[in-house]
Chains A and B, each alone.
Chain A
């Protein structure tokens, strides 16, 4: 039998506000353990939460970018469960009235656009981090992360494959980066994805029993885990078995999903409205102001790159995927470089150089202005493309302007006809054999002479001019 996978995603995003969601502590949890804490986020007796307005704004921005309806009136709720990483033993979250709901996101898979429904996006607080020493059988809790604002984004069960899930996560991450509301660092857990996966016989409506896969460290890991889970569930059903509703983890080393918790131990969270906070009211004026402040989103930018800068859909897609790269591209273009050339250099040599140097586009020693200047030098014939390829690492290491480096190192292209003519005459005299070959009709011989000329000039001869001059001299 063939089956159709039905997948819904829950993504937790840590919002990069200055302070935590209910207290004034810094949101930076890289600090030494338990240094960004206060009575409020430690859940000391008598403390009260105060909602961070920026966290609400960041959430609304995400909601708007995901085409959601923004609730005029929503509230926070208490989600009750006991765990040492939860200071109050309840998490302040949103239950029945999320801040954002009923949106969608369009993703692209295999050149086709697909719409994924967004059920809701709600604001809550992150938990602390537990750590355990095996030797001493001791546990510690670092509360720096406790109270970091967290946006949970839940999709409809509209995803039908691991590739779609990957495309969804990538598109979502792009949007979050464009909105600049999260540092989107997977390794540090600032985006955490969970997938609810079930399969059903193709062509049927009812959902199968789902499993939940969480705690996967990367988007590609999530993709692999979903692929694995679809195969696993298919095999179970094909063998006449039934899928158990369980929560699973992903063992990246073995490439398998592993059961973590069964349905029986599912919690009753006893949600009820948080009495310490007043309702969240986002009036039309506030929503409009946030809508106006929205930056250009990735999809729109891609279309504009194709339209304004003549990029192919492929090139535009690659550039917009990383907001920093797209920004760099636009800055290079505004500094005077033609779009197509700028894109080629950024995605080609510059990307390779960054990979080699383990640099990032955010901290690139080559400014967009310098890259544009270098492209200009090629365009006006001052340097050859080959010289430019050698020049790029020099620019990277020295952080100097390409024009200055060309002068300093004498790399300017030789376009002086008389110099090249004299050199060509000398080469013909020194190599009568190949000259004879050319006269006997061997086109290859011209390549020999141009090569010799380039060698003699350390690559600085203008290759086009060198070719013309050699042909003229040999034909004389």
Chain B
């Protein structure tokens, strides 16, 4: 019996569709049926676009029937995080305030993915406005970890990670402001990458923290990650912060070889805060890279301990302004029966935003306030520069930096809901790459004894995604690690 469609990687599915062994419609139907089977447990999707997806798949099939090139991801079923604007369906950022909101335009990444031939299956769950590390802050539902339904999938792109891990789509997009792609990828045992800041257009990504946000892919292997990057990267004149640089074919970096590559291990990351089990996984991962010819060096990122504080000042400051527009005046759910603009703002925001979003808006408003700006925001910007300089100095000595993605595997649902500080520390290893703007990937490096995935993070120099992918691919191909189908959904998959 041949492999079920939804177990194939995106690239092998694409090849089969191009070769007309499988039709795009069959692929879409297989995935939609699988969503029906498992999403009651996983709860990754907030909106499934069955009819539009099938119509789109038919269009791809007729393109292929006419002998046309249907794109590098022809017929590949994908999912999008609920903060990527699409004219199809709704874009609600999993917030009550934007519930039912229909975007009048498509995000640049959505346009690019349509042009590449993908079939979008729907929108994926997330922490409201991307604020959180567990998807528990979603106003819609809490997504569950496909490896253990009692655990969180991580966040904020928890739906995107869980959907790929549970084979509910071949590829998905998420966004990463402080680790929101890499941390859930680690928790769910899939590949997740945050490209360099400026590599992917943010036009159409509902902003959380503009100077940190970056869109990136989730996939089940490194090759699919590279393929997706080929499609979504590139300059966009609608985003002034997108880099006007040539985008290489990232698949050419997938050589399987890391001979002469200098792998840096930052000593500040390997402290007592790191769980023993995860540490062991990282140690053996480093050995794999070494055995493939990499040279391991110790490096230092001395300002690491300030990263979390710096991050929470900058991201909340930017968020306080970015979320100001959700006032119920032009769109979104306006509180009824108010008598003045001020009352309308207060009631709309109090009813529409969840607790974590309100907390961050207040924090951000505070750090920008007259009299506090210099002590908080300005100081944080200075430390951010130091953290960038740390990376520059470290990358003099090495070509990629290898760290754990998270200090612990996925935690249990509800475990940290009342403790925002401990929740914030879930991103302790991922935040620095956002502050520095560096590309970083998380890929699976094994299961813990409790059967939960651990993630290996590889960080590169800005705009050297190729180097990151090269090391990630070499590890993936030589480690012998294949997590297989997540245990919690294995029954439905057979």
B368 within 8 A of A: yes
A44 within 8 A of B: yes
B269 within 8 A of A: no
Also in contact, A46 and B324, with CB within 8 A (given A82-B345, A278-B240): no
Q: How many residues on B have C-beta within 8 angstroms of the other chain's C-beta atoms? A: 45
A-side interface mostly? loop
A46-B206 Cα distance, complex, nearest whole Å: 4
A268 within 8 A of B: yes
Name the A residues within 8 Å of B377 (CB-CB): 272
Interface residues of A in 66-93 (CB under 8 A from B): 78, 80, 82-84, 87-90
Q: How far is the CB of A76 from chain B (nearest CB, A)?
A: 10
Q: By the criterion CB–CB under 8 Å, are A45 and B321 in contact?
A: no
A276-B203 Cα distance, complex, nearest whole Å: 10
Interface segment, one of A47-55, A219-227, A236-244, A453-461:
A47-55
A124-B14 Cα distance, complex, nearest whole Å: 48
A98-B331 Cα distance, complex, nearest whole Å: 33
Among B91, B206, B321, B369, chain A packs the most CB atoms within 10 A around the CB of B321
B327 within 8 A of A: yes
Interface residues of B in 238-284 (CB under 8 A from A): 238-241
Q: By the criterion CB–CB under 8 Å, are B240 and A82 in contact?
A: no
Q: How far is the CB of A132 from chain B (nearest CB, A)?
A: 11
B20 within 8 A of A: no
**Cross-interface CB contact of B325 among A51, A89, A270, A277, cutoff 8 Å:** A89
Name the B residues within 8 Å of A39 (CB-CB): 103-105
Q: How far is the CB of A238 from chain B (nearest CB, A)?
A: 35
A275-B210 Cα distance, complex, nearest whole Å: 6
B67 within 8 A of A: no
Interface residues of A in 234-277 (CB under 8 A from B): 268, 270-272, 275-277
Q: By the criterion CB–CB under 8 Å, are B329 and A268 in contact?
A: no
Q: How far is the CB of A271 from chain B (nearest CB, A)?
A: 8
Complex interface bits, A28-48 against B, C-beta within 8 A gives 1, otherwise 0: 000000000001001111111
A268-B320 Cα distance, complex, nearest whole Å: 14
Residue of B nearest to A141 (CB): B329
Q: How far is the CB of B177 from chain A (nearest CB, A)?
A: 12
**Cross-interface CB contact of A278 among B237, B241, B331, cutoff 8 Å:** B241
Residue of B nearest to A278 (CB): B240
Name the B residues within 8 Å of A89 (CB-CB): 321, 324-325, 327
**Cross-interface CB contact of A48 among B240, B317, B329, B341, cutoff 8 Å:** B240
Complex interface bits, B357-375 against A, C-beta within 8 A gives 1, otherwise 0: 0000000010011100100
Q: By the criterion CB–CB under 8 Å, are B85 and A51 in contact?
A: no
Name the A residues within 8 Å of B324 (CB-CB): 80, 82, 88-90
A275-B369 Cα distance, complex, nearest whole Å: 18
B383 within 8 A of A: no
Q: How far is the CB of B24 from chain A (nearest CB, A)?
A: 28
Among B325, B331, B341, chain A packs the most CB atoms within 10 A around the CB of B325
Name the A residues within 8 Å of B114 (CB-CB): none
B318 within 8 A of A: yes
Q: How far is the CB of B362 from chain A (nearest CB, A)?
A: 13
A46-B107 Cα distance, complex, nearest whole Å: 8
Q: By the criterion CB–CB under 8 Å, are B317 and A272 in contact?
A: yes
Interface residues of B in 172-211 (CB under 8 A from A): 202-207, 209-211
Q: By the criterion CB–CB under 8 Å, are B103 and A46 in contact?
A: yes
Q: By the criterion CB–CB under 8 Å, are A270 and B365 in contact?
A: yes
Q: By the criterion CB–CB under 8 Å, are B341 and A44 in contact?
A: no
Q: By the criterion CB–CB under 8 Å, are B206 and A45 in contact?
A: yes
Name the A residues within 8 Å of B237 (CB-CB): 50
Residue of B nearest to A43 (CB): B325
Q: By the criterion CB–CB under 8 Å, are A45 and B325 in contact?
A: yes
Q: By the criterion CB–CB under 8 Å, are B370 and A270 in contact?
A: yes
Name the A residues within 8 Å of B204 (CB-CB): 46-47
**Which chain A residues have a beta carbon within 8 Å of chain B's beta carbons?**
39, 42-51, 78, 80, 82-84, 87-90, 141, 268, 270-272, 275-278
**Which 8 interchain pairs have the tightest Cβ spacing?**
A89-B324, A275-B210, A275-B211, A270-B368, A45-B206, A46-B85, A46-B204, A268-B370
A selection of 21 A-B contacts at a CB cut-off of 8 Å is A44-B85, A44-B331, A46-B83, A46-B85, A46-B91, A47-B203, A47-B204, A48-B203, A48-B238, A48-B240, A50-B238, A78-B321, A83-B341, A87-B325, A87-B330, A268-B369, A270-B321, A270-B370, A270-B373, A272-B317, A275-B210
